[in-house]
Amino acid sequence: MSAAAPTTQLPPWWPKAAAVAGAAAASLVALKLLQGGKPGSVAATAKAGGGAHAEQALPASEVKALAARAVDDYVSQVAGKLDAKASASTIEKAGELGKYLAFKKEYQTSFMARPDVGEGQLLKVTDWYRLTPEDYDRTTFHIEVDVSGTSIEKLVNGSDGKALSVYATNDPKGVATFLKEMGLDPLQLVSAEEIAPQEEEGAVVLTTVEKLFTQYLDLFGKPTREFLKKLVPFATDILEKVKIAELTLERKQADFQDKQARAYTFADYLTEYKSLKIPVEKYVELLPTVKQRVYSICSSSDLRPGKCQLLVVREDWEAKGGETKFGLCSSFLTFLRKGQYCVGHSTHSVMKIPE
């Protein structure tokens, strides 16, 4: 599926716009195709967090508008500080992106934090401090985000037993190392229908390879044997093909479980077998998405209007072999600081408040 291009010539400033957009953190470009028909109908209401009481539900259009405003505010604040770090030739190759940025109105182009998470809101960190001493064996910290003006402002009252779902991003250094080992261009543009807003017919998403692996794909998650079965066809060396296939068999279950105990990740498997030749667009079929992690809210919006506070312990464990491993989202929150952003939404807690 492709977008119809306007006949008007591109303005001379589009390469710079493309470069800035390609470097913008926490943003993906979503656009509706001109010839794809009218956008699909959206549900009448959206319960932010997937568990809000009916009387607190907001119209889906309002949820979408508030989310878009938060992203626009983010882009306006950080765009001037960004360095695209892209060569002129790389920018020239981003012609498709430049087209959609140059004609945002015609293509209905918009920036979205997580296109596949309709209720997700871009939240700014307003406070962070460690609660345990530096030499303590666990990292426990306080973090506060600003929810004022968002669709979840009235839905994150900790005194009501509510929780906040947070969508982490992968470690940028780890992603950069992986892309280099796999021979992938981090600035290459990719179109991913799998992460397009499901409620909007004819919508596609454009992002860079770097952002796809940093913000969307669960690259450092725990694989299953089903993943290995899908991986077999991409091995070009027959010996490696056999090795991968054998790990899916019952007689090799002990070997697979040993790798699980050593906390093998998707990235570990992908970089171990050097003959793998995987087209970049196939990774969205092989790897799952980064899922939400849910944290109980420890603040009351009655006392702190427009703020949501969490008390978090960084998850860590010792894998077989002695290496210390850390949880994805708790580590992500550990290194967030005031002025940075995360994507989240309210969630109905399993805890029941007594009447």
Domain with CATH 2.40.30.10 in the chain: 121-169+290-348
Q: Give the pLDDT confidence of 207-221 residue by residue, as tens digits.
A: 889 999 999 999 999
Domain 121-169+290-348 indexed as CATH 1.10.3720.10: no
pLDDT band of 30, cuts 50, 70, 90: very low
134: number of Cβ within 10 Å: 6
Q: According to the model, what pLDDT value does residue 309 have?
A: 96
Mean pLDDT calculated for residue range 322-337: 96
Q: According to the model, what pLDDT value does residue 186 have?
A: 93
What is Dmax (Cα atoms) for the chain?
A: 65
Q: According to the model, what pLDDT value does residue 302 have?
A: 85
CB contact set of 160 (below 8 Å; sequence gap of 6+):
353
Q: Give the pLDDT confidence of 31-90 residue by residue, as tens digits.
A: 444 333 333 333 333 333 343 333 355 766 677 677 777 766 776 666 556 565 666 666
In angstroms, how far is the first alpha carbon of the chain from the final one?
54
pLDDT value at 282 more than 60: yes
Q: According to the model, what pLDDT value does residue 190 have?
A: 87
- What is the overall mean pLDDT for the chain? 80
